[in-house]
Structure 1
Amino acid sequence: MLILYSGCSMNLNWYIGIMKRYLCFIFLFSVFFASATMTIGRLDLQKNAEITFTAKESLDKQTDSLKTVRFYLERSDLNKNKGLYANAYEDLWLALLLAEKEGDKKVLATIHDELGVLYGIYGKHAKAIHHKKQSLRYIKEGTFSKRKDFGSLVSAYFNLAVQYRKAGDLNNGLVYLDSCKLMEQTRMKNVKENPFILSEKGIIFLLKYDVVQAESYLIQAKDIFEKNDKNYLVIIYAFLGDLYTLKDDIDKAIHYYEKSLNRLQISNTHTDFKTDVLNKIATLYNKKGELKKAYFYLDKSTKISDSLFGVRTKVNGQLFEIKDKYQEAMAAKDNYIKEQQHIIEKKKREQTQLLFVMAVIVFGLVFLAILSYHRSKVRKLKTEKESAAIKIKHDKEKLNAILETKSKELTVSALQLIEKDKNIEILLEALKDNSSGKYGEIQSKVVRGNKDLWESFNLRFTEVNTDFYKRLVKKHATLTPTEQKHCALIKLKFDSKEMAKLLNISVNSVHISRHRIRKKIGLTREDDLSNYIANI
């Protein structure tokens, strides 16, 4: 029964030990101080008071927020090392509030990394990973102009890999380890193997039960650390013990567990592994049947665990009861911002509505003004147009009346001349019978007088019918000057006989002329020549 219990305890404690290394270190550190002399305790309290006093004095003299942040970080680190996680946790949130105002990415990266550590100690892996990622983001956003900056980035990737491994997400752990390796090779030009990366890969493959690869990586890391950083051998030896336990090589497993304990005693580092390693050694000795040794190691492990649990319960019970001041402040800030945004949006809506109403009113007034102006202008133009039309009508009627009068006068004058010409012909016939000698002389004078009479008539016709000849020629360019004269007489409604008398030609000649004119104009028999010419 004891052997069955020991086997189960070995596997259970193996996983628990992996997840709680950092927690055990802090607890053991607190136990160490709790069991020290009162003098040492007083010295620690005095040192803490001196740090606090110095920092506060610096705060009184200076207003540099970054120095205040550094004070909170130092005090948080001191509280964490003493196991006062609640105080450390609160100091980190206070530092974060100030650091976010300053925007210093390196400080923000440090704060989030420390918050990740605290959350990791209590197994809150989701929050721990969140803060580790925040730390990585701030480091990435910084300017990496120096080799050490890339070193910070590699460390951030490594810390995330470790946190993913503790959370049980082994694949993501390997992904971030590969990122570390790639960063070292491409940016830092480092071709040497990094023992930390090797050791973490060995641990992950061990958890994957890939014993061959796990042993290869852990042995490589061990060989490098034995030459350089011997303190990290506490972890390497402990996991090599787990490896050989899994391979059921008990003696070799005990050998590496004891080497881990010896290195821990010498360096006094990674003390969080002590309880787990003691318990595993006890389990292995129990499996070998060496019960005294098994009891010895199990008793040491139990005492440390009990002390550790007491410290955890007494000192850190308040951690999960602490009010998250940062989150409360951020929530209050968000609520205030939302209220202000709501007020601003409400005012904007009101301003928009007011502007819209004003715009509608202004637009309406402008529209009414334009409409009124347009209507006034239309009325004015209509009145002016009507007045102009009336004036034109009156002028036209007046002109037509004058034209009609003059045309009548011209016609009367022409008819009088024709009548006079008839009387002259009668007298000439009488003279021809009585005195033939005088007849020829007088007839010549009468013919010359008729020519002058036509010229006088044509001049008066042109004055009355302005541009008649121009319109006639423009419309019918083929008409001769004689035919144009005939058209003028046709316009005045003269018949063929009257035209013959006035033009001193025969009636037959007038008929021929009228026929030619109709033909050139293009009139048919049904068309009236006099009406057509009168409308030109």
Structure 2
Amino acid sequence: MKYFQHIFQFLFTVGFLFSSGLLFSQDLKYKEYDSILLNTPKEMGKKNIPREKIILWNKEMLEKMKKENYVRGIIWAHINIANQCWNLGNGEESIKNLNAAESILHKNESEIDFFTIAKLYQEYSQAYYVMKLYDTGLKYNSKGGYYGNKIEDKDRRGKFLSYVYTTRANFLYEKKDLDSALYYLKQSSLLYESLSTTSQIANHYIEYQPSQNSAKAYLGQGMDIISKKKHDPNDYQISVFYYYYAQYFFKEKNYEKAIVFLDKALEYNKKLKTIEHTKNIYKLLISCYKNSGNLEKEKQYLEYYIKLKDSLENSQAKGVELSIKTIEKEKTEENKTLKKKIFIYSSIIIFLILLVLAYLYYQNHKKKKVILESKEIISRKEDETKVLERRISGVHEDLIQLAKNNDISFLEKFHEVYPNVSQKLLAINPDLTKDNLAFCALIWLGFSSKDIAEFTFMQHRSVQIKKSRLRKKLNLGSDVNLYQFLKSLVDN
């Protein structure tokens, strides 16, 4: 009896040690995957490897993580692909990958760390920024900040929150909340003195609340970060910094210096294919050459700008085509190597012929599918546009009726439908009252003085007096047609 007990105990101990060894080995493997997924895309970016190839590498890692059934690895592969997509201007593809990652997260939330969750929502935020959906982007930015504050590692938490605050500042600039934007930039800088944040603070004093002395001070800090290689700035950050420096000289009307820094910005950005940034560089170069009288260079960069704009529209299709070609090429090479070890030369030749035929068939089928999908997308977009036009027409009619009824909600509804009108007017004179804005709204909608007098229960002469006072507030002469002036402010 004791003999069997000893055997059982021995087998149990061996089994326990073996299973523990497997679990330990698996844990080490997963940690290695974490390190690869977090660090390799950054290293590839530093080496200026094209974003399409980084996407392809992450797609291969995604398939590997799926085979390994490693949930956190799958999520990070999707996050990495999404990051490269929005940098290429492809917000739609970015959102698709983030949706896939979030779906997996919800099913395995207890297994996922706060850094991964925070990173997922921050990437959502960036993708929506590219798509100009600022309110939605801010919502996800807040979620990223919420989970970012839960990150245990202090250094990682500080660096990540710095990134979140910088992104939030970008959203606030779009919403014209300049003071809050500057506040978050400075909070970001306190957490982590990166070249990116320093550059954006400098740009704040160049573009939004002009102060050349303040801008110069922060640009000096940026040059110090580059020269001393603090926090290891990457090529994109340096390129953006030089772009802001060019803006500084453009404001000084020193166009030659501005062009020098724009050339540097292009040099650091040439392999990155960060399309929006490249467009901004070209746009400023066009203005510099125009102001300096170099019409030939102005024309040259205008052509570059137009070509880049067209390429942006085709970036998704090109990215898919490049990925397919690269994958097929690598599969062919792998198959060649494998078959040389297994089959005789005649078998290899036969296999390659079949592979080529299959590849050609697949390519032909894929192209037809892409063309069909493109047509469907175009048709769907056209239908959406028609629906939107009908909605806008209906909203406009409702607005007209509110004006005729002298409804108190007229101005609020007008702001919702045509927000830029009041923004432009307040930019001219911040002291304009709600009554002034409502009066401008009635004129902008095309109502005559007689109509306005009738709807607002005023004398015709009182309307004329109000128009005269409004001209003074807007610094307009008596010969200026108010309706034409207001319509010229904002493209209808």
TM-score, normalising length from structure 2? 0.48
- Greater relative contact order, per chain length (Cα 8 Å cut-off, separation 6+): 1
TM-score, normalising length from structure 1? 0.44
